[in-house]
Amino acid sequence: MTLIEGGAAGKTATPPTPPNGGVAGSAREPWGRTDPEYWAALDRAVAERDQAARQAYEVAYGRERLKAMAWADEMSTRGALLPAASAVVVAPAPTETFGALGRKWTSGELAKLYPDHVEAKASKSDDAQRLSVLAPALDDVPLTDFASRGVELADEAMRRLEQLRQTREDERARQDGREPRKLDPLDKPTRRQYAQVIHRVVALAAYPARLIPVNPLPRGWLPGVGKAKARGWLYPDEDARLLACVRVPLVRRVFYGLLNREGMRTSEALALQWRDLDLRHGVVRLDANKTDTPRNWTLSRGTREGLLAWKHLCGVKTAAAFVFDPGIRVTYVDKSKRERSRKALSKWTAAEDLRADLQIALGDEARPELFESTSKRLRLRAHDLRATFVTISLSIGKTEDWVTQRTGHTSSQQLQNYRRDAATLRELNVGSLTPLQEAIPELGEALLSGEVPGLQAAPGGSDPLDAASARNDSVGHEGLEPSANGLRVRCSTN
């Protein structure tokens, strides 16, 4: 930093000694002084003058420039032959990089600095993950470089996207202690999501951060989404066989069962804590979610009891614990015949695990379209269990409001893609999904043991449509013999 020598004309007061021990009016840096009382006093003075300006300067130039300006102001006020703050020339601070600004965005720091222009991220984990994939290409690039060749930098990152994803997968596999997967190329909508992250960070650099004059990425730079591909879902009998298959880890079966029966997103289920569940009344509450709109609903028939049993089996001691403990691990044998350990449930491997578990549960009867991607159809992903929920719910007569209250969809158009498949299921009369505590043998056994606390009936009545589906699933004909759902035994060979 350089202080310009000189001062206001006519000032004759003897200047005090600068804080670094130099000569008054010299071009010496002022922050050599270390006594905290001095800087605390200057900090208070600046804070009282303009707290907003202080925050802005700390972000743009760092704390040292702020102290230098405060020192110069104090000297000027006391009549020293020194420049005022406006005459302080500071060497340019280290240029902000794409990665640094991206992290400020996803962490919520920019939302705090510019609350009128930047909203706190609801999907910050997804965008942070995309930024981590793009990091080798963009993380250390100064944002000033985007001012001159922004389109070139952004295009190059998008060209390298598949390579960057595979590199990231290899690194994550090593961290998880598993074999790396060969990733399929991204579809157009997902490529657009990565491009949107690049576009957003560069736009923030232009405004409100004002690190570059304008956003250099032109209108139309974002890739198109293309035509929507058909997506998979499970029939009720496929769900029943999957959840009954004891060769599949129990934590994953409970996870699959919850997604199929409640319609929440994969990320929402993985982030679910026991305090988000009111198991006395049978209600789930999702205050933090992708759409940033809190929602709650009554759990489907049997889900409350199934979760009570799962909580008992997990030995949960605190409400802050995750419903699906990320610390649960499973062993497997790798390609070199070595026994290894990895996370039983992970966002990054959920789709592959689901397909592998279905192969185990369904064997030769597995539908090929669940495992193969084509130009018109995507193979089954964990996210598509949400499609299972919507499709089956519509097929048994649930209303749009009932469905969207659980899924968080915001328009009828978003449900339109499921109606044709729902009509097919209605014609087949396949019915609804087996209640969770009946579909998973270990949960049923725990309930029969009489050791699961909190099993008293939930206050209030049941959903009329759930009651109707319960009657349709009953053994025998209504009016001739009572329902015996609790006595049915489903096996993996049904």
Q: Are 328 and 251 in contact (CB under 8 A)?
A: yes
pLDDT exceeds cutoff 90 at 150: yes
Q: What is the pLDDT of residue 230?
A: 83
pLDDT exceeds cutoff 60 at 460: no
Mean pLDDT of 418-425: 90
Confidence of residue 397 (pLDDT cuts 50, 70, 90): very high
pLDDT exceeds cutoff 90 at 135: yes
246-294, pLDDT tens digit by residue?
Answer: 999 999 999 999 999 999 999 899 999 999 999 999 999 988 766 667 8
Q: What is the pLDDT of residue 114?
A: 92
Q: What is the pLDDT of residue 338?
A: 75
294-327, pLDDT tens digit by residue?
Answer: 899 999 999 999 999 999 999 998 889 999 998 8
Q: How far is CA 399 from CA 251, 403, 427, in A?
A: 31, 6, 18
Q: What is the pLDDT of residue 304?
A: 96
pLDDT exceeds cutoff 90 at 483: no
214-233, pLDDT tens digit by residue?
Answer: 999 998 999 988 777 888 99
pLDDT exceeds cutoff 50 at 464: no
For helices 124-138 and 161-176, what crossing angle results, to 10°?
A: 110
pLDDT exceeds cutoff 70 at 5: no
The distance between the two most distant Cα atoms of the chain, rounded to a whole number of Å, is 109
Sequence spans of domains, the chain: 2-89, 98-206, 236-487
- The closest of 57, 70, 60, 59 to 19, measured between CA atoms, is 70
Cα dihedral sign, 370-375-381-387: negative
- The closest of 407, 386, 372 to 290, measured between CA atoms, is 407
121-135, 162-176, 395-409, 477-491: segment of lowest average pLDDT: 477-491
Q: pTM of this prediction? A: 0.65
Mean pLDDT of 92-117: 87
Looking at residue 387, its amino acid is A
Q: Tell whether domain 236-487 is in CATH 3.40.50.720.
A: no
